[in-house]
Amino acid sequence: MNRQAHSALVIGAGPAGLMAAEALADAGHAVTVAEAKPSPARKLLMAGKSGLNVTKAEPLPAFAAQYDAAWLAPMLAAFGPDQVQDFCRALGQPVFTGSSGRVFPTAMKGSPLLRAWLARLAAKGVTLHTRWRWTGFTGTAFAFDTPEGPRALSPTTTVLALGGASWPRLGSDAAWVPWLRAKGVEVAPFQPANMGFLMDWSPHMAKHFGQPIKGATLIAGAQRERGEFVLSARGLEGGGIYTVSRALRLGAPLALDLFPDQTAAQLHARLTRHKPGDSAANRLRKLGLPPAAVALVMEVARPLPADLARLLKHLPLPHTGPRPLEEAISSAGGITHDSLTEDLELRALPGVFAAGEMLDWEAPTGGYLLTAAWATGLWAGRAAARHLEKMPDGG
């Protein structure tokens, strides 16, 4: 087995890993990035296929409140929505803010931004190896399978940015969990986040698959979120569902307010004006509900109760659980906060830092996931650079 020494090693070439590599390079250190896949940042490119949502333009306190981990606050303060936009512009990628506050590159896709970023990293001397799959430890060295055969690296400092456990075919397969646990690192079990929910549909619903339910408020326990979602062959998908997915995963029941701008009394008054002989479906259509919403009501609440207005203000949706982890947009769980110092250094492995979705935090879609990946990557990379500078020879 060939052994090499590198002053700084980053494992994982997603957004967090590349940001850590740039922070180390900016501090003047030689950096090697090892990526298991044939090309870097595959999940970033996949996210960009429908428009790369890089962040959300909102005040930092409101932005940070979307995360379930208060300890991320200083990292988001250092690299939050404003800094993300500056970062994109510096790579020649102007951005715009949509009506919802979500921020996108003008080009919409992730590939132009990634190409410009990789070129900038190469100009700073960052070495990127693809098809280098980390396979665990050989003693204290990091072992890799590479196209040239097995390698073992013993860097002075390392940043781990291997992702969580969603979309394993893009690289985030959580294979690293047992290796870190064996070294004494606590890793909370991974669970799906920002995922759809399964529904047991009758055959009558098939013609409505792919149709959106708009303008409704989703109710998950005490949480109420106005949003849109889609009826799919397997259940409920889309941004509105994702905003309440954590509450649902924790056991909150799901219901829908189909008329959030009207009271039950107002709805009842409208319903009493309908002809007594109207069918239930006709009564719903006359309220202005589109066919997909009418079908949803009839699917989950037949026979309809006498107090139809109350039902439309709180329509229970009896899902059968979340979509599998490998189909989720992101994952909850990962390296626990107690296993990390304030610098994101692993307490059990001095000189080794971690960033991105490896860490135990959760946030909704809408630019929050990517911003935190970048923010933690920058934080870990800067801390790793300081670690190198403390070494007798500067690393």
Q: Is the domain of 115 the same as that of 19? A: yes
Q: Is the domain of 227 the same as that of 124? A: no
pLDDT of residue 356: 98
| Nearest-angstrom CA–CA distance, 257 and 310 | 9
CB of 64 closer than 8 Å to CB of 74? no
User: With 70 as the cut, is the pLDDT of residue 1 above it?
Assistant: no
User: With 80 as the cut, is the pLDDT of residue 29 above it?
Assistant: yes
Is 224 within the bounds of a domain? yes
Q: What is the pTM of this model?
A: 0.93
Q: Is the domain of 176 the same as that of 243? A: no
CATH assignment of the domain containing 32: 3.50.50.60
Q: Is the domain of 141 the same as that of 278? A: no
CB of 165 closer than 8 Å to CB of 333? yes
Q: Is the domain of 11 the same as that of 117? A: yes
Number of other residues whose CB lies within 10 A of the CB of residue 40: 22
Residue 353's identity, in one-letter code, is F
CB of 353 closer than 8 Å to CB of 160? yes
Q: Is the domain of 185 the same as that of 243? A: no
User: With 60 as the cut, is the pLDDT of residue 99 above it?
Assistant: yes
Is 323 within the bounds of a domain? no
Distance, C-alpha 274 to centroid of its chain: 46
Q: Is the domain of 187 the same as that of 201? A: no
C-alpha distances out from residue 126 to 31, 72, 145, 355, Å: 5, 27, 20, 18
What mean pLDDT is reported for the chain?
95
| Nearest-angstrom CA–CA distance, 45 and 105 | 13
Final residue before a domain boundary, out of 286, 316, 346: 316
Residue 303 is part of which domain span? 197-316
Is 42 within the bounds of a domain? yes
Is 395 within the bounds of a domain? no
Q: Is the domain of 156 the same as that of 268? A: no
For 147-165, how does the pLDDT look when each residue is reduced to its tens digit (9 = 90+)? 999 999 999 999 999 999 9
Q: Is the domain of 164 the same as that of 57? A: yes
Return the sign of the alpha-carbon dihedral for residues 389, 391, 394, 395.
negative
393 pLDDT band, cuts 50/70/90, is: low
Mean of pLDDT values over 319-334: 96
Is 342 within the bounds of a domain? yes
Of the CA atoms within 13 Å of residue 20, those in its CB half-sphere come to 38
2 pLDDT band, cuts 50/70/90, is: very low
Q: Is the domain of 157 the same as that of 257? A: no
DSSP string, 238-298: SHHHHHTHHHHHTT--EEEES-TTS-HHHHHHHHHTS-TT--HHHHHHHTT--HHHHHHHH
Is 321 within the bounds of a domain? no
C-alpha distances out from residue 165 to 34, 61, 245, 343, Å: 19, 28, 17, 23
Is 338 within the bounds of a domain? yes
| Nearest-angstrom CA–CA distance, 362 and 235 | 23
pLDDT of residue 5: 40
| Nearest-angstrom CA–CA distance, 192 and 205 | 26
Q: Is the domain of 238 the same as that of 182? A: no
Q: How many domains, the chain?
A: 2
Indicate left, alpha or beta for 377 from its phi (over 0: left) and psi (-120 to 50: alpha).
Answer: alpha
Q: Is the domain of 353 the same as that of 384? A: yes
Residue 108's identity, in one-letter code, is M
Nearest Cα neighbor of 313 from 277, 278, 292, 287 is: 287
